[in-house]
Amino acid sequence: MVSRRAGTRLAGVGVVAASGLALSALYQFTGLGIACPFLQLTGWECPLCGGTRMGAALLRGDVAAAWYLNPVALVGLGVLAVLSLVWFAQWRGVRGPGVPRRWRAALRSVPDAVWTTLWLGGAVVWTLARNLQ
């Protein structure tokens, strides 16, 4: 059975990936980028600062430079790539080992507000860590 939910997730990831690739290529080939409003207002780098330059470094094949620019975003990109492969397999109807049922049930039982708080808390911690060195 083809999973409609996996296809929707995959489409969302595709839009984000295409946008990121386009911005990174624009920066790589023209030097034009998008200024971070948070950086301009506060002088601090936001959690995604360096993401465009990181993408441009990856386009050049320079993983070390990408890591230096934003290691958290680089790891997140890797996780997103793995999830995309899983969602693609689900969308195509491929059945793999998957996540154990009780883990899935436990993850689904966590309210969205908790996930949002964890993401925002992680972003705040990363912002502080990269700016208070």
Same domain, 26 and 62: yes
Tens-digit pLDDT profile for residues 87-131: 788 788 887 777 788 888 898 899 999 999 999 999 999 999 999
The whole-model pTM stands at 0.77
**Nearest alpha-carbon partner for 6 in 107, 98, 103:** 98
**Cα 8–14–15 angle (5° rounding)?**
95
Per-state percent for the chain, helix, strand, coil, to nearest 5: 75, 0, 25
Average pLDDT (63-68) is 96
Mark whether 34 and 93 lie in a shared domain: yes
Residues 27 and 88 in one domain: yes
**Domain range enclosing 21:** 4-98
Overall domain count for the chain: 2
Same domain, 43 and 84: yes
Q: Is pLDDT above 60 for 11?
A: yes
Q: What is the mean pLDDT of residues 78-91?
A: 85
Residue 19: closest CA among 8, 5, 3, 34: 34
Both 120 and 73 in a single domain? no
Question: What pLDDT is attached to residue 129?
Answer: 95
| Burial 9-20, CB ≥16 within 10 A → b, else e | bbeebeeeeeeb
The reply to whether 43 and 90 lie within a common domain is yes
**Same domain, yes or no, for 53 and 23?**
yes
Q: Are residues 39 and 64 in the same domain?
A: yes
